[in-house]
Amino acid sequence: MVACGQVLACWTLLALLAGVSADPARYDHFRLYRLLIETPAQVEMLQQLEKQSDSYAFMGHARQPNQNLTIMVAPHKIAEITELLQRYELQGSILLYNMQELIDREKATIKPKGTRPEEFAWQFYHHLDTINEWLRWQAGRHPELQLLELGASYENRSLYGVKLGTNPANSGVFVECGIHAREWISPASCTFVLNELLSSDRPDVRRLADRFNWIIFPVVNPDGYRYTFEGDRFWRKNMQPYGVCRGVDLNRNFASDWNGPGASNDPCRYDFAGGSAASEPETRALVEFLERHVAQWRIRTYFSVHSFSQLVMFPYGYKVDRVPNYDDLVAIGRKGVDAIERAHGARYVSGAMIETIYPSSGDSVDWVYSALGVPVAYTFELRGPPDSTNMFVLPAEEIIPTAEELLAAFIAMLGEATRLSYYDGERQEL
């Protein structure tokens, strides 16, 4: 027990002893509401509420009538939100009464730090270091697997990835995962897919590994991912401070209509676009890597993996114009959605990002498509459904089925893109 003469000195000492991240955010009695917005007055009220108070965490923004919206409400605001819902006659339901219970339950499904790569398993979620060790271990066992190390994050962590396959005639598939820290199912699914590509005997998976070179980065926001384990389970952004707030939404930080619709210029917001396009070291590392390798490695396909909402989306997110190969991307997306449903019955929806979810500017997929000319570019939102009661805290027993769905989608979508001749031209160049 530490004896404290002065309260202030005691606090300082305890803070030093504890370290910042040993005292994580708590969400006791935070509630999750699902609202159905029907009138312009309701839209305006919710927009005001989001602007004025950080006690409401919005999953998306209120934009128009006939829209569903999920919000997380701090316990000291429960009376206020109850009154507001009544006064504005807003229809809605309470999906969950205590977010902290969800987080506490999830802890039992996290493998401890120091887990050896041999014990890596998809019945569990894994710390950042465990994922990186597992990548290193796999690269040591498979000569066709090359470990990639990019730049460094704001907190000076490397972005680790792998390149699987060495056939120069193959087209490259880039898989970007974990750009949003709290979406743990993304790194989990991407490592599962990599493992299947390395070790599965299934002929369709072997074909995928043989016909494409795979570049997979399981955690492109390493600081944020670590922070969700030790600081705040619902953190989304990177960790760079901007005044009293911190963190840039890396998926709003790319040079595709940067800081346009669906992004914020307020550093305290969850979708803060950053100081400028590619202001963040993690974004710059990805941009420089992709610019250097897109032609050399024939990267014609880009998958960005997120959660939740069960969507398979293609550009654009920032404008309503249709992309030149819209019909093809509709067809490829449909194949993905059908394959997902065949796997375990989950229903996903496919479409252009702006038509499917909400306007978003500065995201990686739009940038890769527009600036680098990668023609087959998709953002996945994995399980759960839009009215999910656990959002980013997907139970660990759903990791494997969710990852199997993603693999099934990759197989079907790359098959359809091959049929549509997206990978032909390059072979002819040889």
Cβ proximity to Zn ion, 179 vs 411, nearer residue: 179
- Which residues between 305 and 324 bind Zn ion (CB under 5 A)? 306
- Which residues between 336 and 365 bind Zn ion (CB under 5 A)? none
- The type of residue at 120 is F
Extended beta strands in 85-184, E state: 91-96, 145-150, 159-164, 171-177
CA atoms within 13 A on the CB side of 251: 23
Cβ proximity to Zn ion, 126 vs 306, nearer residue: 306
**Is 157 among the residues that bind Zn ion (CB under 5 A)?**
no
108-116, 129-137, 173-181, 393-401 -> range binding Zn ion (CB under 5 A) = 173-181
**Is 180 among the residues that bind Zn ion (CB under 5 A)?**
yes
- Helices 128-141 and 222-230 meet at what angle, rounded to 10? 130
Rounded to whole angstroms, the Cα distance separating 315 from 355 reads 10
Closest distance to Zn ion from the beta carbon of 145 (Å): 27
Closest distance to Zn ion from the beta carbon of 369 (Å): 17
Per-residue x/- marks for Zn ion, 39-78, CB under 5 A? Answer: ----------------------------------------
Contact between 221 and 181 under an 8 Å Cβ cutoff? The reply is yes
Rounded to whole angstroms, the Cα distance separating 396 from 373 reads 36
Active site residue 101: no
Closest distance to Zn ion from the beta carbon of 180 (Å): 3
**Is 31 among the residues that bind Zn ion (CB under 5 A)?**
no
- The one catalytic residue among 381, 398, 405, 416: 381
- Helices 185-199 and 203-211 meet at what angle, rounded to 10? 90
Closest distance to Zn ion from the beta carbon of 50 (Å): 18
Closest distance to Zn ion from the beta carbon of 126 (Å): 19
Rounded to whole angstroms, the Cα distance separating 359 from 215 reads 28
Closest distance to Zn ion from the beta carbon of 379 (Å): 8
Cβ proximity to Zn ion, 282 vs 416, nearer residue: 282
Report H helices in 19-117.
40-52, 78-87, 99-107
Rounded to whole angstroms, the Cα distance separating 415 from 179 reads 26
180-188, 259-267, 331-339, 418-426 -> range binding Zn ion (CB under 5 A) = 180-188
CA-based nearest residue to 378, from 355, 400, 351, 408: 351
Per DSSP, the three-state class of 57 is strand
Number of residues located near Zn ion, criterion CB under 5 A? 2
Sign, Cα dihedral of 194, 198, 199, 203: positive
Per-residue x/- marks for Zn ion, 277-306, CB under 5 A? Answer: -----------------------------x
Residues that are catalytic: 381
Catalog residues that contact Zn ion under the rule CB under 5 A.
180, 306
